[in-house]
Structure 1
Amino acid sequence: MDLINPSVVDLSRFQFALTALYHFMFVPLTLGLTFMLAAMETVYVVTGKQIYKDMVLFWGKLFGINFALGVATGLTMEFEFGTNWSMYSRFFGDMFGTPLAIEGLMAFFMESTFVGIMFFGWDRLSRPAHLAVTYLVALGSNLSALWILVANASMNVPDGAHFDPETMRMTFDSFIRVVFNPDAQAKFVHTSVAGYVTASLLVMGISAFYLLRHEHRQFAARSFRMAAIFGIISTVAVITLGDVLGRMDYEHQPTKIAAMEGLWHTSKPPYEPWIVAALPDDAKQESYFEIGVPYVLTPLVTHSFSTPITGMHELEEQAGPRIESGITAVAALKRYSETHMAEDLAIFQAHEKDMGYGFLATRHAPNQDVSAITDEELHNVVEQTKPDILPNVFVTFWSFRLMVFLSLYFFVIFAVAAYLSLKKQLERFPLFLKLCMWSIPLPVLATEFGWITAEAGRQPWTVFERLPTFMSASTHGVGYMLFSLGGFTLLYSIFIAAELYLMFKFARLGPESHGEHDPENGTPSLSVIAH
Structure 2
Amino acid sequence: MDMAVVELSRLQFALTAMYHFLFVPLTLGLSFMLVIMETVYVITDRPIWREITRFWGKLFGINFVLGVATGITMEFQFGTNWAYYSHYVGDIFGAPLAIEGLMAFFLEATFVGLMVFGWDKLSKRQHLLTTFMVALGTNLSAVWILIANGWMQFPTGSAFNPETMRMEIVDFMAVVFNPVAQAKFVHTVSAGYVLASVFVLGIASWYLLKGRHLEFAKRSFAVAAAFGLASSLSVVVLGDESGYALTDNQRMKLAAIEGAWHTERAPAGLSVFGVPSNEGRETRYEVKIPYVLGLISTRSLTGEVAGITPLVQEAKGRIIRGIDAYDAVETLKTDRTNVAARETFERNKADLGYAMLLKRYVADPRQADAAAIDKAAWSTVPNVPVLFWLFRGMAGLGFFFIAFFAGALYFANSRKFDRKWFLRTAVWIIPLPWIAIQFGWLIAEIGRQPWAVEGVLPTFLASSSLTVAQLWTTIIGFTVIYGILAVIEVRLMLAAIKHGPESETHLSDDATPAGAPNPFQTVAAE
1:521 Cα deviation from its structure 2 partner: 10
Tell me, in whole angstroms, the C-alpha distance in 1 between the residues paired with 2:471 and 2:104.
29
- Counterpart of 1:417 in structure 2 is 408
Aligned to 1:395: 386
Does the 8 Å CA contact 2:51/2:503 hold for their aligned counterparts? no
Classify 1:9/1:95 alpha carbon distance in 2 versus 1 (closer, same or farther; 3 Å): same
Higher mean alpha-carbon deviation, 278-287 vs 8-17, is at 278-287
8 Å CA contact retained: 1:216, 1:521: no
Whichever residue aligns with residue 447 of structure 2, its letter is G
Give yes or no for the alignment of 1:44 onto 2:44.
Answer: no
2:409 is the counterpart of 1:433: no
Q: Distance in 2 between matches of 1:168 and 1:495?
A: 41
Q: Find 1:296's aligned residue among 292, 295, 298.
A: 292
Confirm or deny: 8 A CA contact 1:38 1:138 kept in the other structure: yes
**In the alignment, what sits opposite 2:514?**
none
C-alpha deviation, 1:68, in angstroms: 0.3
Identity of paired residues, percent? Answer: 47
Distance 1:504 1:409 in 2: 26
1:519 aligns with 2:508: yes
Partner Cα distance (1:192, 1:33) in 2: 11
1:529 aligns with none
Per-residue CA distance 1:241-282 (angstroms, 9 max, x = gap): 111111001111100100111111112234x43211222211
> Are 1:328 and 2:328 matched, yes or no?
no
TM-score by length of 2: 0.94
Q: Kindly tell me: are residues 178 and 122 of structure 1, through their superposed partners in 2, closer, same or farther at Cα, counting changes over 3 Å?
A: same
For residues 206-225 of structure 1, the aligned pairs below 5 Å read 206-225=203-222
Distance 1:159 1:92 in 2: 12
- CA deviations over 1:345-388 (Å, ceiling 9, x no partner): 222222111101100122223xx111334xxx2x2222221211
The CA distance in 1 between the partners of 2:413 and 2:480, in whole Å, is: 45
Partner of 2:519: none
The offset of 1:520, in angstroms, is 6.1
- Does the Cα contact within 8 Å between 2:105 and 2:141 map onto a contact in 1? no
**Would the alpha carbon gap of residues 343 and 76 (structure 1) be closer, same or farther in structure 2, given more than 3 Å must change?**
same
Higher mean C-alpha deviation, range 245-254 or range 172-181: 172-181
State the 1:54 CA deviation: 0.6
| Aligned position for 2:462 | 472
The letter of the residue matching 2:304 is P
Query: Could you tell me whether the CA contact under 8 Å between 1:217 and 1:521 is conserved in 2?
Result: no
Query: For 1:177-196, what per-residue CA distance to the aligned partner results, in whole angstroms no more than 9, with x for missing partners?
Result: 22111222221111111111
Measured in 2, the distance between the counterparts of 1:521 and 1:80 equals 55
Aligned pair count?
A: 510
Could you tell me how far 1:156 is from its partner in structure 2?
1.4
Partner of 1:383: 374
Shift of 1:302: 1.8
Residues 16 and 521 of structure 1: CA distance in aligned 2, closer, same or farther (over 3 Å): farther
My pick for the range that moved more, 110-119 or 481-490, is: 481-490
TM-superposition CA deviations, 1:460-484 (whole Å, max 9, x none): 1111111111110001111111111
Q: Distance in 1 between matches of 2:319 and 2:254?
A: 21
Partner of 1:372: 367
Measured against aligned partners, the alpha-carbon deviations of 1:481-530 in whole angstroms (never above 9, x if no partner) come to: 1111111111222222222222122112211x5454533699xxxxxxxx
Q: Tell me, what secondary structure is at the counterpart of 2:463?
A: coil
Match in the other structure for 1:190: 187
Q: How does 1:482-493 map to 2 (within 5 A)?
A: 482-493=472-483
The residue matched to 2:285 in structure 1 has which SS?
strand
Amino acid at match of 1:205: G
CA distance in 2, matches of 1:393, 1:494: 35
Q: Given residue 52 of structure 2, which amino acid in structure 1 is its aligned partner?
A: M
**Could you tell me how far apart the structure 1 residues matched to 2:354 and 2:273 are?**
32
User: Whole-Å Cα distance in 2 between the matches of residues 492 and 405 of structure 1?
Assistant: 30
Equivalent position to 2:114, from 113, 117, 139: 117
Q: Pairwise CA RMSD of aligned residues? A: 1.6
- The amino acid across from 1:142 in the alignment is N
Deviation at 1:111, TM superposition (A): 0.7
For 1:23 and 1:58, the matched residues in 2 are separated by: 23
> Match for 2:281: what amino acid?
Q
Change in CA separation of 1:130 and 1:317 when aligned onto 2, cut-off 3 Å: same
Distance 2:128 2:10 in 1: 42
Moved over 4 A (4+): none
Name the stretch that deviates more: 409-418 or 446-455. 446-455
Q: Which residue of 2 aligns with 1:82?
A: 79
1:528 counterpart residue number: none
The 1:278/1:505 distance shift into structure 2, 3 A limit, reads: farther
| C-alpha contact (below 8 Å) 2:325/2:345 kept by paired residues | yes
Does the CA-based 8 Å contact 1:30-1:63 persist in structure 2?
A: yes
170-179 or 211-220, larger mean C-alpha shift: 170-179
Residue of 441, 451, 456 corresponding to 1:451? 441
**What is the deviation of 1:287?**
2.0
| Structure 1 position 96 matched with structure 2 position 69 | no
Letter in structure 1 aligned against 2:298: T
Give the Cα–Cα distance (whole angstroms) in 1 for the partners of residues 198 and 381 of structure 2.
Answer: 36
5+ residue gaps, structure 2: 512-526
Tell me the secondary structure at the aligned position of residue 284 of structure 1: coil
1:316 aligns with 2:312: yes
